[in-house]
Every structure is written in structure tokens, then in C-alpha cells.
Amino acid sequence: MNVSSWSIKNPIPAVMLFVFLTFAGLLSFKAMKIQNMPDVEIPVVVVTASLPGATPSQLETDVSRKLENSIANIAGIKHVRSVVEDGLVSIYAEFQLEKPMQEAVDDVRTAVSQVRADLPSDVRDPIVTRVNNSDQPMLGYTIASDTMDTEALSWFVDNTLTRQLLTLPGVSRVHRVGGATREIHVDLDPIRLQSLGASAAEISRQLVQVQNENAGGRIDLGSGEQPIRTLATVKSAQELGLLDIALSNGQHIRLDQVATIKDTIAEPRSSAFFNGKPVVAFEITRGKGESDVSVGAEVKKTLEEFKTKYPAIKIQEAYDYVKYTEDDYKQSMSLLFEGGFLAILVVWLFLRDARATFVSAIALPLSILPTFIGMYFFEFTLNGISLLALSLVIGILVDDAIVEVENIVRHLRMGKTPYQAAMEAANEIGLAVIATTFTLIAVFLPTAFMSGIVGRFFKQFGWTAALAVFASLVVARLLTPMMAAYMLKPTTTVHKDPFWMARYLRLVDWCITHRLRTMIAATIFFFVSFALAITPWVPKEFIPANDASETQAKLELPPGSTLAQSQNAATLARQLLIQIPSIKNIYTAIGNEGDPRMVSLNVTLTPRGERPKLQTVEDQMRKALEQVPGARINIGQGGDGSEYNLILASDDAEALQAASLALEKGIRTIPGIGNISSTANLNRPEIAVHPDFARAAELGVTSTAIGQTLRVATLGDYDTNLPKLNLAERQIPIVVKLEDHARKDIDLLQRLSVPSTKGQPVMLGQVAKLEMSSGPSLIRRYDRARNVRIDIELSGLPLGDVMDAVKKLPAMQQLPPSVKLIQIGDAEAQGELVVGFILAMFTGILCIYAVLVLLFKNFLQPITILCALPLAIVGAVLGLLIAHKSLSLPSFIGLVMLMGIATKNSILLVEYAIVAMRDHHLSRLEALREACHKRARPIIMTTIAMGAGMLPVAIGLGSSDQSFRAPMAVAVIGGLLTSTVLSLLVIPAVYTYIDDLGIWFNRKMKKMRHQP
């Protein structure tokens, strides 16, 4: 049954259907969440194991290797990466994308439990967590007060502010940066301690035993029962000093006789600055699946209430990534309206009929709104990927309606009534409209099923585009003919061909007559464009360099650097950067990664349009930060196409170190690149303790006792073993250790008392020797082998060019056999991208062919339609070359889109020619001429409308960053133009060859059937 005819005869059901779809679409749109990028579940599981005070070398042997070996046996594991630093092991288990996340977590947890007994007893139970790509701070604030000191302000953030913010829907984490944490310090006098034969570890253990609260049983008095509690806690540092401590040698002392007790703050290991002023800062992270904009609005509203409730508190915004998400969303919606307006304007310019233009234009909102229903059903969000799909198909959505309306108007100008014109035109064009729509769906859907991380991100792109195109088909077949039948007016205007039609038909006659020349010219044109695509003239990269209004500078100071040295370096870096005119604010976080020598400067730039490109500003930053002595510098946020990352891995530490240094030296000779940072081991100074085993055994001293004595004396006991001061709302840790000056004297440490199994304490110097040494500050491992990671800032250069330059370096070509190169980051993703898109393109072509065969009931003529695909690639490459865009992820997406769009024009031509030959018994030449005559105008209309719809994206209108969208639109527009022009001329010639092949094949089949 012809749905268009049914809709024209029964308009009320169709109207009510679209009223319902519009209402449901509006509700779905309102309920959808706004994000910067879609939340993608990547099967990466993190295992963290801590042993405070342990060195990286010790942890690598005792913890990391054992956990890695167990995890590596899990089914579906892809890579195992480890980072070993002071007191902490972090293992990242990356699984194949097909592995369910919860199953991966459970498998890792089982693997860890299997080797838990083999780990040192002091290692805390390893923690297994999953990686969430949304687990990044999106808002940062600084807080200050004239009535609170740093410790009180920090507690206000930890207790009052954090507790309130975590009650907000969507807020998953509030993290304080800088500030101070309250502690009770028991600073022992080493001389008094030595005279008593006691150790810091003994004092700390005794405090835990004495200063606590325990349940003491139960008694029955009278008619009831009462619990017994032992209350042995103190409420202040002064009371703590009055406690008597029993020693192992039978003596007892009052605590303040051997120590100075202070209610103070913990030794600072991190700090924060905003525009050079020290601040207490806090960062806010949203939960998975939550809306950036909604969460950001709730947080800002709550903080405004805090300002009113606590007038002495001053809260200032340090950075706001939500603003960029919101601006990008508004800009995407603006591009939708602008593209839609331009597409409608094109329709009006061709038809010059307000009613016909309205009938075509109504297809836009009625196609987009039902799309939101499908997006909501699939739990998609309004993010950069899904909105990109809508902004690129905006011209396509009106395409089917244009074809329908143009055909109806042509029938009207033959003197028919609107009702009759709508019935006949819709029936005439129906198959072509259905074929073109399903070829687009056949192209878009494979992108939703691409493999790799890229495929996960573009799942929403493929489904959104396919849903929108399908909705446009429903509108074009149900609503457009019905509205035309009842809204258009009869016209007395005689149908006239456009002024260019006669010239075009003469060109078609020439191309068909000289079909061999036409085919040769088209083939040469294709191979020339293909050659251009593989030349350096068209750069290759994974993601185009962005032009965001924020960036980051990271400083890494030499191992052993103190927090004060890091603060001095950060101050110098800020003073150098703030002199750059394009820099507006600088938020500095020191030690935010747990290491006081790591400095991060989040730089906010002036608005786009008031400054040069981001790459220019980053080059200025690199040049300025060259004056910071002794620091490794890294510019850029990473993960945005601004870096090339590679890994050298080997079990031979010496060969690895030599190869990495040689490669790093060679990379520095590549012109145009930015800073280079390497994780090659930088040894740091350390104190090595060498026990005299014979003497220690004689005196009853163990190596564990030696290590424990030094650890507690210089650093304090493990957090879980510390005594606590119980207050009304919190517990304050009590840290027992030597006075600060004692940590600067090795001779003093050698005189410390070590407990002995024989009852008498032994001086440390009698059983061990302390001397200066060195060791690695950080160990990185990849797939159970040590590795060195080299990060290269591209500084605006294409990733592909830098990769080729690195491969040609002598150091790379002469790598030792024991050292292997591993591509990670964008380089690895680029390889997956090429494979994924080649597979998606071939899948799309196969799906297009299958759809066309089913619709046309012919195996050969769909090949004619597919010949339009190479003609589209020609224009895409030329468009990228002219617009100075790269062949990257977005342009690959554009090429996939072109496959469906380019076939639309060919379908309109071929479908009419087939019908004319089969139903109207025209000759082949007459059928082709009639197809070109009748279908050239709608083809050109739809091409210009689609191009106009994408034009705002291609030229980058608006204030938001269009660096990702523009290459895609440029590739599509370029391919659209060439495929349209060449299809109108080349496809008729191709049709004759395919038709001749069909005639020859049928003749052969007849001969075979008639043979005995």
C-alpha cells in the first residue's frame, strides 16, 4: 500500500501522529542531559596498593610484579601498565572493549586476592576500582576568610562545604587542594629517648594502647543491664602530655618529659595559588551520566547561598569547564538553526513559492524532534558528538521533502490540481526517496558499531544521524505530500526549464557519445586526488589541534625537590607566563598528584577572537618557561591531539635507558616540535641502611626492627596505626616522631635505640651502617616490563608527519633487539581509526548495494550508483587541501557520510532511467536524457541545500571552538559539490556500460538455457 496516497486520503491520522511525536520529542529534549562528550565505559580497572615509606625498587619486586603476573592471566586482558612510586603501586589493567566492565572488575579482584598472601604483611589491602572518563574536575574554586586560619578554613571545606555539595544530585566528588590538616605532633627529644633506652615506635604503640576507648563487658544492676566502657581518652594536647607511658624495660615516664606536644598541622605536601596568592582550593567532579550544565548550575547556586550564609567566607572561581560545555551546546543549537535557515532559503530561491517552501521547511523540526525520542530511549545525551551529527544532517533532513515538493510543483505546473499533483508525484518519486534514505541509514549505522575507543565515542553519532534521517523519510512520505495536497494552490504558470538546462543536456549528450573519454577523465581525476591524499600536502593526524580558551603547563622538578622549591619554581613560572598578553588567569596546584615536585598551572586565556591561535600562545609559553631552571616542562592538556606519545619497553634496564636517551636526543633534532618529556629514570639521593647480619643476630636485632625504628622516628607510624585524639566531630591523628632537627643528622640517627629480642635495647650504629646512596624516584612498567614513555608536543604539526620523522631517526632504526617500541595514545588510536573506518566504509558500501538490489530488483545497475563514491572522494580531498584542513578523525567521518550522500544523486538519475525504459518503453538514450532533464533540478537543489546547511559548521561561525567540526563539514561539502557535478555527467556514461554488460550477460544466459 502506498503510504503517501493513504495519508493524502486520510490526513487526520497523519496529523495526529506528528502532533504526538512532536510533543514526545519536546519532552525527551527537555529530559536529556547536556555534556561535553559522551560518557564512555572503557574497561580499565585500577589496582592501588600502598606501603608508606617503601621505595619504588622494593615495591616493584615485592608488590608490583606479583600483582601484574596474576592480573596478566585474566581472559580478555589487553595491556597492564604500572606506576611505582614512594609507598604506592598503581596498576592499570586494560581489557578488550568487548569485556563487560563489572566482569573485568570482578576478575581483577579475584586475581588480586589470589596473591594477597604473597604480598608483604604491612601492605594495605589493595583497592580495585574502575576508570570513569567523566572522573575529571569540571569546576574549581578558591576560598578565603579574614576570620579563619588555614587549618580552620581547610576543615570548613572538608566538613561543612563538602558535606553540603555532596548532597547535590550529580556531584560525585569534592577534592580539596592546598590548605592544612590538623595533627597532634609528639616531637621526641632524641637525647632523652636514648638515655631511657626507648624508641619512637615504642612510644607510639604505648599511646595507642593507653589512649583509647574500649567496651568492657556488661553487668546487671537492679532490674536492668548496663554495658561497661573503658574511657581512657584525652581531649587536648595538654592532657596528652600529662599521660604516663610504661616502657618495656619496666620504667614509666610522663610524655611531656621526653617530647614536645603541639596541636599543629601536618607537614604540607601540596599547595594552591590563584594569580600568585596562596589559597585553599577545592575541585568538583560530576558523576557518570550526569549533566555538566545542570550539576554546574546547582553547584553555583549552592555556593551563592554559602556566600550569603557565611559573609566572612570569600569564594572565587578558579576555572570553569562547564562554561565551555554550555557555550558549545548553545553554539551547536545556533548552528542547527542557521543551517536550517540557509537550507530553507535555498528552497525558496528555487521554488519562489511561500507555501511550497513552508511544506519543505516543516520537515526540519518534525524530523529533529522525533530523533530526540530515540536518543532519549537509547540514553544518549546532548553532547559534542550527538549535536555534531544533527548539525551535519540538518541539510539532509530537508532533502527528501525538497525532492517530493519539487516534483509536486512540477506536476502542478503541468496544469494538475494540488490533490492530483500530490498523488501522482508522490507515487512517481517514492521509490527513489526510500532508496536514498535507506542508503544513508546503511552508511551511518556502521559508524555506530566501529571497534576501538573511537567506535565507542561515535556510537551516538551513528545512531543519532540514522534516527534523524529515518524520521525525515517518515515526514517526506506521510506528511509532505498530504500538506502539499491541501496547502498548495493551483498554478497557471507553465513549467519552464532553467536557463542552464539546455547547455547541461548538450553536455550529457557529449559525455554519452564519448563515454570512453568521459570514463578516462573521471578515472584520472580520481587517481590525482588519491595521490594528493597520500602526499604531505594533506596533513594526517588523529584529532585536529583545538583552539580552546584554556591550557595547562606542567613542571616536574628534579627528584628530591622540596615543596618550598616547587613553590619557588611555580612563582617564577607564573611571573613569566602572566606577561603574555593572551593569558587572563593562572591557577596553580602543587603536589596535587601526591608528589610535591609536580606543579600544574591551569591557564585561562582571553576569549577567542581577542588573541592568536592556541598553538601560538602555547609556543609563547614554552619560550617563556625556558627560564625556569632544572624543570621538565610540558605544555597542553593532553588527549586533545596536541601530543605524540610512545613507549620503549625492555627487561634490560641498561639497554632501555641508553636507547631512550639516544631516541630523545634524536627527537630534539626534528624541526618545529615543542617540548619533549621523558620518564627515563632520574635517580634521587637517598640514605641506604646496610645491616651487619652477624652483629645483629648476635645482639637479637632484626632488619624489620631496624626499618620500623627509622620509619617511625623520621616519618611517624602508618596512618592506620596512629593513635587518635577523639573530638566531637572528628579524630585528630597523633604523630610520634623525632624533632625536625634530628632528621638532618645521620650521626644522631645512628644513636637511636633498636628493640632487641634479648630485652636490652641496642644502638642502631652497632648493627647497621647508614650512608648516602641513590635510587629511582619512579618506575613505570608496561606489560610486565620496565618502560620509558616519551611525550612529544606537536606544537601544531600533524601527528602523521611527526610519526614519520621519528621512524626515520637513526636511534629508532637501530633499537637494540631487547627494546621494543609501543605506540600509545593518539598514535595507537589513529591506527585503530584507519582500520575501523575502512571496515565501516566497506560495510556501508555492502549495505548500500544490498539495499539497492532489494529495491531495484537488479544486481547490475546498483553498481552504476556506487560509481559515484570515488567522485565524492575527489572533492573531499580537494576541499581539505584548499581549506588547509587535515585528514583526521572528523574528516574520516565526513568521508563515511559522503558515501550515502553521493549515492542520493545517482539514485535519482538511475531510478528514473530504469522506470522510463521499463514502464514508458523509451530507448536507453531517451531514458537517460529524460532522467537528466527531470532530475537535474532537484539534485542541484538538494545539493545546495545540504551544503548550505553545513556551511556554518565549515566556516566556523560562532564563539565556540570549531576545530573538530570544520574538517568534517569541509570534506562533506567538497565531496558533495564534485560528486554532484560529476554524477550528472559521468553516471549516464557509466549507466550505458553497465547496461551493455547486462545485455551481454542476458544474451549469454539465453544461449546457455537453449543449449541441449
Give the three cell numbers for residue 7.
495519508
**Amino acid at the residue 466:** A
End of a domain among 754, 774, 794? 774
Mind giving me the DSSP string for 78-124?
A: EEEEEEEETTEEEEEEEE-TTS-HHHHHHHHHHHHHHHGGGS-TTSP
pLDDT confidence of 66, banded at 50, 70, 90? very high
Residue 204 maps to a domain: yes
Phi-psi region of 1004 (alpha: psi -120 to 50; beta: other; left: phi over 0): alpha
State the cell numbers at 556: 616536574
Same domain, residue pair 899 and 979: yes
pTM above 0.85, yes or no: no
354 in any annotated domain: no
The predicted pLDDT at position 298 comes to 92
What mean pLDDT comes out for the span 202-219? Answer: 80
Q: What is the Cα gyration radius of the chain?
A: 36
In tens, the pLDDT along 503-548 reads 999 999 999 989 999 999 888 888 887 777 766 677 777 677 777 7
Q: For residue 329, tell me if it sits in a domain.
A: no
Domain end among 740, 758, 774: 774
- What is the predicted pLDDT for the residue at 850? 85
Q: Which three cell numbers, joined as nine digits, stand for 171?
A: 556531584
Asked if the structure places residue 474 within a domain, the reply is no
Name the grid cell of 176: 580539596
* Cα–Cα dist 468/304, whole Å: 41
Q: How far is it, in rounded angstroms, from Cα 962 to Cα 947? A: 17
What's the pLDDT at 149?
87
**What is the chain's mean pLDDT, rounded?**
84
Q: Which cell numbers in the block locate residue 495?
A: 513549467
Is residue 576 a contact partner of residue 258, using CB atoms and an 8 Å limit? no
Confidence class for position 177, pLDDT limits 50, 70, 90: confident
Residues in the chain, how many? 1012
What local confidence, expressed as pLDDT, does residue 29 receive?
93
Residues pairing with 754 in the sheet: 762
| Residue 116 and residue 243 share a domain | no
The SS3 assignment for 347 reads helix
Q: Which of 100-109, 608-617, 831-840, 916-925 has the highest mean pLDDT?
A: 100-109
**CA distances (Å), 127 to each of 78, 79, 274, in order?**
21, 19, 34
CB atoms within 10 A of CB 348: 15
Under the banding of pLDDT at 50, 70 and 90, the label for residue 494 is low
Within this chain, do residues 117 and 194 fall inside the same structural domain, yes or no?
A: no
Q: Which residue bears the cell 650512608?
A: 771
CA-based nearest residue to 512, from 997, 994, 987: 987
748-783: per-residue pLDDT in tens? 888 888 888 877 788 888 888 888 887 777 888 888
Is residue 758 located within the same domain as residue 885?
A: no
Model confidence band, residue 693 (pLDDT cutoffs 50, 70, 90): confident
Dump the DSSP string for 702-724: -HHHHHHHHHHHHT-S-GGGS-E
Among 835, 833, 939, 937, which residue's Cα sits nearest to residue 888? Answer: 833
Are 1005 and 872 part of one and the same domain? Answer: yes
The pLDDT score that the predictor gives to residue 653 is 77
**Which CATH number do you get for residue 705?**
3.30.2090.10
Is 70 exceeded by the pLDDT of residue 828? no
Lowest pLDDT segment from 238-242, 643-647, 893-897, 959-963: 959-963
Mean pLDDT of all residues in 338-358:
83
Question: 334: part of which helix (H) or strand (E)?
Answer: helix 321-351
Q: Alpha carbon 82 to chain centroid distance?
A: 21
Structural domain includes residue 102: yes
Amino acid at 684: R
Decide if 471 contacts 949 (C-beta within 8 A).
Answer: no
Distance CA(159)–CA(147), nearest Å, equals 17
Report the distance separating Cα 170 and Cα 82, nearest Å.
31
| pLDDT category of residue 594 using cuts at 50, 70 and 90 | low
Q: What angle do CA 602, 607, 608 make, to 5 degrees?
A: 110
pLDDT digits (tens, 9 = 90+) for 648-691: 888 787 888 888 888 888 888 888 887 787 777 667 778 888 88
Do 876 and 1005 lie in a common domain?
Answer: yes
Give me the number of domains the chain comprises: 3
305 Cβ partners below 8 Å, 6+ apart? Answer: none
Q: How far apart are CA 193 and CA 742, in angstroms?
A: 12
- Both 61 and 190 in one domain: the answer is no
What pLDDT score was predicted for residue 706? 85
Q: What is the CATH number of the domain that holds 123?
A: 3.30.70.1430
Contact 469, 444 (CB under 8 A): yes
For 2-37, how does the pLDDT look when each residue is reduced to its tens digit (9 = 90+)?
788 899 999 999 999 999 999 999 999 999 999 888
At residue 284, the pLDDT reads: 92
940, 999: one domain: yes
Measured at the CA of 68, the angle between CA 63 and CA 72, to 5 degrees, comes to 160
User: Are 106 and 201 contained in the same domain?
Assistant: no
Q: How far apart are CA 183 and CA 204, in angstroms?
A: 14
182-188 and 731-738 strand pairing = parallel
Domain of 770 in residue numbering reads as 182-213+231-265+687-774
pLDDT at 107 over 60: yes
Q: Are residues 770 and 893 in the same domain?
A: no
Q: Which range is least confidently modeled, 560-574, 892-906, 978-992?
A: 892-906
Task: State which of 774, 795, 824 marks the end of a domain.
Answer: 774
In a domain, 277, yes or no: no
Residue whose entry in the numeric block shows the C-alpha cell 637494540: 816
Q: Which of 76-80, 493-497, 765-769, 1001-1005 has the lowest mean pLDDT?
A: 493-497
Percent of the chain scoring above 90 in pLDDT: 14
Is the per-residue pLDDT at 563 higher than 90? no
Q: What CATH number does residue 954 fall under?
A: 1.20.1640.10
Instruction: Give the other-Cβ count within 10 Å of 228's Cβ.
Output: 10
- Residues pairing with 644 in the sheet: 792
981/875 same-domain check: yes
Contacts of 1008 (CB under 8 A, 6+ apart): none
What is 500-516 written as a DSSP string? THHHHHHHHHHHHHTHH
865 in the same domain as 986:
yes
pLDDT band at 252 (very low <50, low <70, confident <90, very high): confident
Question: What is the secondary structure of 774-787 as a DSSP string?
Answer: EEES-EEEETTEEE
Residue with cell 599521660: 243
Q: Is 112 exposed, middle or buried (0-12, 13-18, 19+ CB in 10 A)?
A: buried
Does residue 993 belong to any structural domain of this protein?
A: yes
Domain membership of residue 907 (yes or no) is yes
Distance CA 927, CA 919 (A): 11
Which set of grid coordinates corresponds to residue 129? 576500582
